[in-house]
Amino acid sequence: MKRILILHTGGTISMKENKETGEVNTSDQHPMDELSAMLQGETEIEDEILFYLPSPHVRPEDMLKLGRTIHDKLAKRNYDGVVITHGTDTLEETAYFLDLFVQTRKPVVVTGAMRSSNEIGSDGLYNLLSAIKVASCDEAQDKGVLVVMNDEIHTARNVTKTSTSNVATFQSFQYGPIGITTKRDVFFHHKMTRHDSYPIQQITKKVSLIKAYAGMDGTLIDAVRESGVHGLVVEALGQGNMPPDTVDAMRRMLENDIPIVLVSRCYQGVVQDTYGYAGGGRQLRDMGIIFANGVTGPKARIKLMIALEMTNNPTELQHMFS
């Protein structure tokens, strides 16, 4: 019999809809109430409510607390896997933080729900059951942190929320899910080729995220610099280009030893130094801006926060994002 640890952090999966007002809010009913009977004799479950937070309230400090709790629990007892329930708005960021932080070969699976527990078509209990199946699967080892939603298994690095309300919201553009779940089985059809892990002890760095747009100037970038940030992530245009009026502001930020990581606001493709015009990727890379591939802006921000706890050396940072 497999032994699975479930850590609850809040979110829609633990909420209920008020049938009179339509408002969805926190509930006293534990999402495990119906689950124990379903798994009787199949899986040994130990669960704990770590915190009860809507996911927009989750901070990097909470992610660090969650990661430390996973380490502590795994050190004290021989669990076969860990499942985390989480709100969906920032689920991908917490999952990616844990993917970079947690040091274990055992499966760590994050799941949630798009519909509260008493709504028609509620998906929470089914997603939780699927997540437990994956966490109990020997083949799920050594794959980093996984996100299980709507019968699909995604890597924390690639998955993103794509719809505000659709139960099939979590997708891995360009890469696809690495596996699927059925009522009885778990199937993996991709292998991980790389997994980064960084044993930080604290989160103290402030990193901002901005998105480029047509006609953008350096005003916002200067304001971010003056706010006292330690780093900046920019969702640039296309393959990694910026409007020319932003270049001087980015150069001032670099001159103040504030690293800039560049991703694309496109949801597919990679950033690269193709274009040589003012504000083009070639000029930005030559200035010392770091190009990051395979992650969204919010995830690049998470990684830069973690990276800056270890180094501020531009060469080392570039290597960490390559």
H or E stretch at 298: helix 297-308
Yes or no: say if 189 and 215 are a contact pair by the CB < 8 Å rule.
no
d(CA 310, CA 256): 19
Edge to edge, the sheet with strand 231-236 lists 207-211, 231-236, 260-264, 290-291
DSSP assignment of 167-224: TT-EE-TTT--SEEE-SS-EEE------------------EEEEE--TT--SHHHHHH
d(CA 85, CA 90): 12
d(CA 181, CA 2): 17
Which active-site residues does the annotation give? 12
d(CA 260, CA 256): 11
Place of tokens 């089914």: 126
d(CA 37, CA 259): 52
Instruction: List Cα–Cα distances, 13 to 105, 113, 132, in angstroms.
Output: 27, 5, 15
Dihedral (CA of 294, 300, 306, 312) sign: positive
Which residues neighbour 13 within 8 Å (Cβ) at sequence distance 6 or greater? 31, 85, 86, 87, 111, 112, 113, 117, 124, 127, 128
